[in-house]
Amino acid sequence: MVETRDPDCLFCKIAAGELNTPFLVETDDVVAFADIAPQAPTHVLVVPKRHISSASALNGDDAGLLSELVAVANQVAKEQGVDQSGYRILTNVGDDAGQTVHHLHLHVLGGRPLATLG
Ligand code: AMP
Ligand code: ZN
């Protein structure tokens, strides 16, 4: 059984509307909101309402949710006007990747050329 809510989790609180964070997109299962410390002109986080610690905790039952997360990321990119110039969708898993909030989130970054990885 997958947890639905972690009482100590920042993104659970944000997704539940408890911090009055403005949502750029909201669906039944997903919210998108601006990153508080943007690394690019467009920097939006796409977050499932259900608590999932990271992408490593996803399984086959979550295929629909993962598809929705990507669809919302693409919608955000379009609404932010970066769909033609290009954007990056990324998610950090664990310490070496720099994951600081242990609730799954997709970063949507764009609006300037982004450094290549590696
Ligand atoms: P990560 O390092 O991949 O776990 O990403 C966590 C992201 O959450 C960082 O980019 C932070 O700037 C962002 N963040 C932390 N607190 C908030 C908040 N209250 N509202 C919006 N974004 C936040
Ligand atoms: Zn959470």
For ligand 1, atom 18, the nearest C-alpha belongs to: 36
Domains of the chain: 10-110 (3.30.428.10)
- 47 alpha carbon, closest ligand: 2
Count CB atoms within 10 A of the CB of residue 70.
14
Atom of ligand 1 nearest to the CA of 34: 21
**Residue whose entry in the numeric block shows the structure tokens 């399984």:** 59
- Local confidence pLDDT in tens for the 118 residues of the chain: 355 899 999 999 999 999 999 999 999 999 999 999 999 999 999 999 999 999 999 999 999 999 999 999 999 999 999 999 999 999 999 999 999 999 999 999 999 999 987 6
**CA 39 to the chain's CA centroid:** 14
Partner residues linked to 79 by β-bridges: none
Using a 6 Å cutoff on CB, does residue 100 contact ligand 1?
A: yes
Q: Cα-atom radius of gyration of the chain, to the nearest Å? A: 14
Q: How is residue 14 written in tokens? A: 């944000």
Using a 6 Å cutoff on CB, does residue 91 contact ligand 1?
A: no
Question: So which residues are the catalytic ones?
Answer: 105
The model's pTM is 0.96
Indicate the helix (H) or strand (E) that contains 30: strand 30-34
